[in-house]
Structure 1
Amino acid sequence: MKSVVLENGKVVIKDVEIPKLSKGDVLIKMRSCGLCGTDVEKICGQYTASQPILGHEPAGVVEESMAEGLNKGDRVFAHHHVPCYECYYCRKGSPTMCPYYRKTNLDPGGFSEYFRVPAWNVERGGILKLPDNVSFDEGSFVEPLATVVRGQRRVKIDDGDYVLVVGAGPMGLLHVMTAKRNGAGEVIVSDVSDFRVEFASKIADHSLNSAKVKVHEEVRRLTDGRGADVVIVASGSPRAILDGLRSVRKGGRLLLFGVPFKGTVLDYDVSDLMNNEISVISSNAAVEEDTREALSMLERKEVNVEKLVTHRFPLDQFEDAVRISKEGKTIKAVIYA
């Protein structure tokens, strides 16, 4: 079978053996798998938070199952990282910090014609059956949407809140959609890309080009001089984080969601956090309560994720998908097999 793997820091599409199953494992034929920014960062050697396995947003069809309740032909989503739910971190409400969380993964990765979901994941709810009204492309959004669900639960959006989302990539736009679903008043989004700013203008209430305007000044103008109640930084760049910190109101909340490159340093007066009582909250990944809620949102059509898919590529054109993503010519690219 064909699989996309990293070898010596380079992407290779190679023929590998279909994974063999052990008790409790499930083999899935991939039908859609979203290309995430973290995949691109892994390819470029810039991502530090996980092992270098590519493809973590897959949906497909069960080909073979050695687990109860899952049968050949079932349409499913599979989660790549699953915690133990028993350790200190899990019991204290930090399951994505579980020492087992990032040790689990799909074999050999989601960008494969077939991949194995280990029994560890399956036994802990890592496979969800897709409802009939959820397409495979929609199913490929379960994992990214779940991370958004978890992040917004942590930062808490109140009814009528002004929300600023810094970064209008697919994750930022999922945040826009979810903030509206969660009761936000007006949602503002900013980005440096003309393409993304224009695309975001169809989804957010206000779309700002941070290369052409001072985001914090525009946000204060749009919020009666106060600033945003909640800021979500859906980019790891230092400039994005600073735009967010300068745009949040006194007593407001800022969610660090995008993963900064290792070694990122901010030129920021930290006393402003204390003097203005700004809460800074980070959120990393998602667990099964989040994937279940994300799938429920998709089933109820509370968010329209398919409008974010601007490109679809067959597996053997994976490198073309990476290229246009790096060039900023896409919102969301989906790989299919």
Structure 2
Amino acid sequence: MVEGFSPMKSVIMENGKAVIKELPLPKLQQGDVLVKMKACGLCGTDIEKICGQYTASQPILGHEPTGIIQESTVDWLKPGDRVFAHHHVPCYECYYCKKGSPTMCPYYRKTNLDPGGFSEYFRVPAWNVARGGVLKLPDNVSFEEGAFIEPLATVIRAQKRVAIDNGDTVFIVGIGPMGLLHAMMAKVNKAGVIIASDVSDFRTEFGYKVGINYSLNAKKVNVVDEVKRLTDGRGADVTIIASGSPSAIVSGLNATRKGGRVLLFGVPYKGTILNYDISDLLNNEISIIPSNAAVEEDTKEALAIIANKKIDVTKLITHRFSLDEFNEAVRIGKEGNAIKVIIYS
């Protein structure tokens, strides 16, 4: 039993900054579990929250954690169990959930880990536990691999929404960790040629390690012209915009074929305005399909894909830091010469 007054090290937002503090252990109520964090991915949205640029949710940091059950108030989770915990879980009963929009559930973003995933220990609330927000990790899935369940789940849900067909040419704009996961998942979904672009030499070179066929530096070539050249003048069947940059969104739209589909996946900054002629959408029948986050059916599928080794997510890990090194991890994550940064406790 861990005493509730024992201090633990946590990274939280305070006065608009990420700080490392000692906090009391969360107190459990019936239905909650306490997890000792072992690994948690540093997401681009964490960095955006720290920089004050994220628009979609409250500024709680760390949503890709795995760990070991320390205390449990439910029968099916025992101390010592290796688990992944999902931070946002819908009700599955409201109008939005029943209409197939569970991430729009009014309860979805009200749920979260306490005090967040970048903590020696965190509480998973009963709401999440009761609705499938905790998954046991098989023995063949490491804590680091488990830290990819949430990001891969968002990719799985997004690609279902945009409906990649067998043999589709897929163009990915932005090849950070999420763009690379999209490339890997597109291969699982039997895409044909995969083209990608970024403004970083490091990331464009890294793209070839995960099976991208053509990886373009947008600072060195006209990306739209190149995509059309590689597709006999048509453009991509499916474009995945894994960046919130306005110029990335516009280039993705312009590189999509007539009748093609554009997945809006990266989160644009608040106030983003596009310099784009909307009439082109109608005249060319281009569909824009946004996708926001994931739910439990997606996390279960992500775990199965990782466990069955359909995707080797460890290829994306470039840096590892302890909780004490969190600020250095953020600095490295912002610089661009990193793909996936993992925080461990």
TM-score range, shorter chain: over 0.9
Where do residues 46-61 of structure 1 align in structure 2 (5 Å cutoff)? 46-61=53-68
SS at match of 2:38: strand
Tell me by how many angstroms 1:224 deviates. Answer: 1.3
CA distance in 2 between partners of 1:314 and 1:290 (Å): 29
**Aligned counterpart, 2:79:** 72
**Aligned counterpart, 2:134:** 127
**Aligned counterpart, 1:206:** 214
Question: Could you tell me which of 7, 10, 13 is aligned with 1:6?
Answer: 13
**Aligned counterpart, 1:227:** 235
Tell me by how many angstroms 1:67 deviates. Answer: 1.4
Q: Deviations for 1:265-300, whole angstroms, at most 9, x for unmatched residues?
A: 000000100000001000000000000000000011
Question: Could you tell me which of 159, 173, 177 is aligned with 1:166?
Answer: 173
CA distance in 1 between partners of 2:268 and 2:175 (Å): 16
CA distance in 2 between partners of 1:263 and 1:219 (Å): 29
**Aligned counterpart, 2:40:** 33
Tell me by how many angstroms 1:11 deviates. Answer: 1.2
CA distance in 2 between partners of 1:240 and 1:201 (Å): 20
Structure 1 unmatched ranges of 5 or more: none
**Aligned counterpart, 2:308:** 300
**Aligned counterpart, 1:180:** 187
1:95 aligns with 2:102: yes
Tell me by how many angstroms 1:201 deviates. Answer: 2.1
Q: Deviations for 1:55-94, whole angstroms, at most 9, x for unmatched residues?
A: 0000011001001210001000000000000000000000
**Aligned counterpart, 1:146:** 153
CA distance in 2 between partners of 1:34 and 1:243 (Å): 29
What one-letter code is carried by the residue in structure 2 that aligns with 1:77? F
CA distance in 2 between partners of 1:308 and 1:202 (Å): 9
1:236 aligns with 2:244: yes
SS at match of 2:332: helix
CA distance in 1 between partners of 2:324 and 2:275 (Å): 43
What one-letter code is carried by the residue in structure 2 that aligns with 1:143? E
SS at match of 2:237: strand
Using the size of structure 1 for normalisation, the TM-score is: 0.99
CA distance in 2 between partners of 1:263 and 1:80 (Å): 26
Number of paired residues? 337
CA distance in 1 between partners of 2:154 and 2:55 (Å): 18
SS at match of 1:202: helix
Question: Could you tell me which of 249, 254, 261 is aligned with 2:262?
Answer: 254
CA distance in 2 between partners of 1:67 and 1:122 (Å): 9
CA RMSD of aligned residues (A): 0.5
Q: Deviations for 1:232-268, whole angstroms, at most 9, x for unmatched residues?
A: 0000000110110011000000000000000000000
Question: Could you tell me which of 194, 197, 216 is aligned with 1:190?
Answer: 197
Tell me by how many angstroms 1:327 deviates. Answer: 1.1
Question: Could you tell me which of 96, 107, 113 is aligned with 1:106?
Answer: 113
Structure 2 unmatched ranges of 5 or more: 1-7
Tell me by how many angstroms 1:214 deviates. Answer: 1.0
Tell me by how many angstroms 1:134 deviates. Answer: 0.6
CA distance in 1 between partners of 2:25 and 2:252 (Å): 46
Using the size of structure 2 for normalisation, the TM-score is: 0.97
SS at match of 1:16: strand
Question: Could you tell me which of 2, 18, 21 is aligned with 2:28?
Answer: 21
Q: Deviations for 1:208-227, whole angstroms, at most 9, x for unmatched residues?
A: 00111111111111111111
CA distance in 1 between partners of 2:268 and 2:292 (Å): 12
Q: Deviations for 1:21-42, whole angstroms, at most 9, x for unmatched residues?
A: 1000000000000000000000
Q: Deviations for 1:5-26, whole angstroms, at most 9, x for unmatched residues?
A: 0100111101001111100000
What one-letter code is carried by the residue in structure 1 that aligns with 2:157? R
